[in-house]
Amino acid sequence: MRRRLRRALETLLHLEDTPHRIALAFGLGLWVAFCPLLGIHTLMSLGIAFAFRLSRAAILLGTFVNNPWTLAPMYLAGTVVGCFLLGVPAEPLAAIDFDRRGADFYRELAVSLRPYLWPFVVGNTLTGLAAGLVGYLALRSLLERRRLRKTPAATTDGAW
C-alpha cells in the first residue's frame, strides 16, 4: 500500500500544470470521493475535469481515495458528522431481521435507514468539502515548494 501511495504522489508531482490547477483537481477529486452519489464518482470526476480542463489524473487520484476498503469508514464518518450537525441521534440501527426475504426485507431496511438519509447526504458533502480543502492546500504547498527547489536561482550580476 505504501508503494501505491508513493506512486500516486509521484504522479501528482510530475504533472505538467500549475500547482494551483493540479491541487484544485485533486481537491475536487477528494470532494467527489465523499459524494453521496455512490456509483458515479468516476463519471462525475471526468465530467468536472473535461468541463474545467483540469488534470484527469489528479482528479481521479483524489476520487479513488474512496475504494472498497475506505468506503465504509468514510461514509460512516460523514454520516456521524451529519447526525451531529442535524441533531439526529447516532444510535445503532434497530435489529434488522435478516431472515426476511424479498420486499419485506428491503421495506424493513428502508424504514431503519430513513432517519439517516439527510445526515448521510449533508455530512458526507461537508466532510468532502473539508477533505478537498485540506487536500488542495497540502498538495499546492508541496508542489510550490518542490518547484521552488527545482527552479535555478536567479542570477544577480546586475545585468538586465
pLDDT tens, position by position, 134-149: 999 999 999 899 878 8
Distances (CA, A) of 24 to 27, 57, 99: 5, 12, 47
**Which sign does the torsion angle of CA 100, 101, 107, 112 carry?**
positive
Give CA torsion, residues 73, 77, 79, 82, to 10 deg: -170
**What is residue 67's predicted lDDT score, i.e. its pLDDT?**
83
Phi-psi region for residue 155, left (φ > 0), alpha (ψ -120 to 50) or beta? beta
8 Å CB contact between 43 and 3: no
**What is residue 112's predicted lDDT score, i.e. its pLDDT?**
84
Regarding predicted confidence, which is higher, 11 or 31? 31
pLDDT tens sequence across 22-75: 999 999 999 999 998 888 999 999 999 999 999 898 999 999 988 888 889 999
Residues sharing a CB contact under 8 Å with residue 61, sequence separation 6 or more, in sequence order: 8, 11, 12, 26, 29
Residues sharing a CB contact under 8 Å with residue 119, sequence separation 6 or more, in sequence order: 79, 80, 81, 82, 83, 85, 86, 88, 90
- Between CA 121 and CA 38 the distance in angstroms is 11
pLDDT band at 5 (very low <50, low <70, confident <90, very high): low
Strands (E), 75-150: none
**What is residue 155's predicted lDDT score, i.e. its pLDDT?**
45
pLDDT tens sequence across 83-128: 999 999 877 766 677 788 888 888 888 888 889 999 999 999 999 9
**Which sign does the torsion angle of CA 46, 52, 58, 62 carry?**
negative
